[in-house]
Amino acid sequence: MEHALKQAKSLAKLLLKEAKSGNADILKRLKKYYRIDVDTKANVKLKMCQHLVAKDTGLADWQQLHELLSAQQRREGEKINFGSVFHTSGCDRFLNKWFANYAEAKNALTQHSYLVPYKHQFIVVKEPYLTEIGIQDKQLQNNDLVTVYPSEYWDMLAAKVFAHKRTNIMDSATKARASKAL
């Protein structure tokens, strides 16, 4: 499992580049965790942006995200914290059913719904939710993103999510630069 981790690293590097170029949105997000201002944008470090990626993914730090994406969290009998890898705030409008118990979520799964992990909980969602997070392949194995962890397939899906986030940041940065040029 390396694709999602590569995409997460690429996302952190993009955040660093944008922060150093003065992207106000990225600097504002970094200010939640670090003392930075416009004058100190040159002091932004990659590890700060890695931390931001982890926090945005609902995890405590980069190490925890790295462990998840490297499948190092899989220990017998231990609940896996999936963070919010497969969730963004834009997904909230698509939420259908939320479960604290995997077995209950699995029972609620239908042919036209998908089971998605969220931290230690589970969501049963419809197709627009997957589109929102950047997954276009609607032929998910068993419609269940929990049972395929850890696998190359899960890694590929998580990589698509991080690539989608990266594209969204690049798009918003391009729009911001274009509006400044006017």
Q: How far apart are CA 56 and CA 59, in angstroms?
A: 7
DSSP class of residue 10? H
Q: For residue 129, what are its two tokens?
A: 């939710």
**pLDDT mean over 79-108:** 88
> Do both 142 and 119 map to the same domain?
yes
Q: For residue 55, what are its two tokens?
A: 């926090």
Q: How far apart are CA 15 and CA 103, in angstroms?
A: 38
Q: For residue 11, what are its two tokens?
A: 């996302």
> Do both 65 and 1 map to the same domain?
yes
- Give 19: exposed, middle or buried? Use CB within 10 Å, 0-12, 13-18, 19+: buried
> Do both 173 and 122 map to the same domain?
no
> Do both 158 and 115 map to the same domain?
no
pLDDT tens per residue across span 39-76:
667 789 999 999 999 999 999 999 999 999 998 766 55
> Please, what is the average pLDDT of the chain?
88
Entry pTM: 0.83
> Do both 49 and 133 map to the same domain?
no
> Do both 1 and 66 map to the same domain?
yes
**pLDDT(38) > 60:** no
- Nearest alpha-carbon partner for 4 in 81, 56, 86, 70: 70
> Do both 20 and 44 map to the same domain?
yes
**pLDDT mean over 20-28:** 89
Q: How many domains does the chain have?
A: 2
